[in-house]
Structure 1
Amino acid sequence: MTKTMMITPIQTDVFHQGDDLVEFIIRSVDPLLWKEKTILAITSKIVSIAENRFESLANIDKKSLIRREADHYLGEIGHGVSLTIKHGLMLPAAGIDESNSEHGDYILYPLEPYASAEKIRSALRERLGIKDLGVLLTDSRTGPLRLGVTGVTLSLAGFHPLRNMIGQEDIFGRPLKMTKINVADSLAASAVLMMGEANERCPLAILSGANVEFTDHPCRKDWEVEMDEDMYLPLYKHLLK
């Protein structure tokens, strides 16, 4: 059966350092949008702001900060960009950003993004009385051989990020042998497209009708790939220390 997913970007006031994030979310979202089996997409940047994840430009140069924050520093690639691995993502600059920083500081990723997502989810479930609620922390990144950024999942809570299709039949009745669907990143890409990247002031989006399995215990281990098992490891293995 075909399902229809609806994405509603939420335009908000500017989120300031010191603001209560859960209160900000509840104040910003139309109460009629909160329903069972809803997913809230939220840009990781305002989570970082809520958690005071800043570094002053006066304290450290960006290259040094990137090396400090990266889980793995893979080296400098094209256009002087530093390629890193951070929180299980391969992306430039360990996710460090200066855009939309109110006081011009560097904004860093949350220290524990999965814990942050679950904390937001638990607080919203209690306040709203919703059982099946998902939370998706998003960012954007570039990819090889393509211009432009796409949304990506930094962390999530409340639903399984992967759908295993192995054993299901294709349209000709042949069983699928390899196919797994990356649900979380697919949703993040769709949400970020609607939320925007510049001055849209849409750091939130409500996703309804998404074909996901809601759960209190997402199977991260089935979704995340250890580096030594990654099919792309030969491209960067020589850079790892």
Structure 2
Amino acid sequence: MELFAVPDLPEIRAGHDIAALVRERVDLRSDDVVCVASTVVSKAEGRCVDLEDFPPGPRAREVAGALADHTDGETDPRFVQAVLEESVEVLMEAPFLLTETRFGHITVNAGVDRSNVRDGDVLLLPKRPSESAARIRSALPADRVVVTDTSGRPFRHGQRGVAIGWAGLSPGRDWRGEPDRDGRELTVTVENVADELAAAANLVAGEGDAGTPVVVARDFEWGAHGESDAHFRDVESDFVRQAIREWSPDW
């Protein structure tokens, strides 16, 4: 598999047609996977906002106060209000906000970001990333699109690319029922290909001021495996989330 960044993309702003910008710069093939950073998807969809649009309510002020007690500086309650409005559940309030977004992604601050934002105070994640991926895909020769984000992972330092939306592929490659090298049948292995493609793309796209938010994965082969549509765990099978719900920190 080969990965390369789409070169010379302009600063993306509200109303930009990401698919058209990519088509102008790369001769895509039908089996390519186009990985697009959520930041530019959000910018094109007008998700740069001012914190003045989020007057804080009592809950936001309470959470901001709790965060301030466990950090070195004050937390803007307007920022907390934005996070709350982008979330369906708050799993942790301190020492950081861990929430579930409206499309099922669990991440810090509901993905509300302050970096690389020129047209507002903060950038919100796309409202429905898989629908965004489908719109981009419909205007490209490539059959598969993944919307990526950078996210931390429990039990690990640092961040890596993850998939928050996809179109034209199933997120999981299902190995269950296939034999291992010793002939034993695999019973639980479902490979999260969408996340692996997002992580690979992130290595090429870079972080900070790299300015290469779209990466093409070429010659990726699915192989003779089944598919799985599972990506975000539901509450019933997410034992970590259940444990966090029951956890009461003793500060």
Same fold judged by TM-score > 0.5?
Answer: yes
| Distance (Å, rounded) in 2 between the aligned partners of 1:115 and 1:82 | 26
- Cα distance between partner residues in 1 of 2:30 and 2:18: 21
Q: Which amino acid aligns with 2:112?
A: I
Q: Which of 20, 32, 48 matches 2:17?
A: 20
Distance 1:210 1:238 in 2: 42
Counterpart amino acid of 1:20? D
2:81 is the alignment partner of 1:64: yes
- Larger Rg: 1 or 2? 2
Deviation at 1:42, TM superposition (A): 0.3
**Which of 212, 235, 240 in structure 1 is aligned with 2:243?**
235
Q: Are 2:121 and 1:90 equivalent residues in the alignment? A: no
Who is 2:62 aligned against? Answer: none
Alignment of 1:173-192 (within 5 A): 173-192=183-202
**Compared CA separation, residues 77 and 186, structure 1 to 2 (3 A):** farther
CA contact (8 A) 1:9 1:206 kept: yes
CA contact (8 A) 1:160 1:212 kept: no
> Partner amino acid for 1:21?
I
Q: How many residues align?
A: 219
For 1:235 and 1:24, the matched residues in 2 are separated by 45
Q: 1:14 offset after TM fit, Å? A: 1.6
- Residue 164 of structure 1: which of 171, 174, 177 is its match? 174
Deviations 1:28-81 (A, max 9, x none): x322xx112110000011111111112202333101111111121112233xx2
TM-score normalised to structure 2 length? 0.81
- Higher relative contact order, chain-length normalized (CA < 8 Å, sep 6+): 1
Rounded Cα–Cα distance in structure 2 between residues aligned with 1:148 and 1:35? 33
Q: What is the letter of the counterpart of residue 191 of structure 1?
A: A
Does residue 30 (structure 1) correspond to residue 26 (structure 2)? The answer is: yes
In the alignment, structure 1 residue 223 sits paired with structure 2 residue 231: yes
RMSD: 1.8
> 2:215 & 2:31 partners in 1: Cα distance?
14
Cα deviation code 1:168-219 (max 9, x no counterpart) = 1111111112111111111111111210111111010000121337xxxx85
- Write the letter of the residue equivalent to 1:150: R
Does the 8 A contact of 1:141 with 1:152 survive in 2?
A: yes
Say whether the 8 Å CA contact 1:162–1:180 is kept in structure 2. Answer: yes
What CA distance in whole angstroms lies between the structure 2 residues aligned with 1:113 and 1:30?
Answer: 23
Structure 2: unaligned runs, 5 residues or longer: 55-77
Work out whether residues 163 and 182 of structure 1, in 8 Å CA contact, stay in contact via their aligned partners in 2: yes
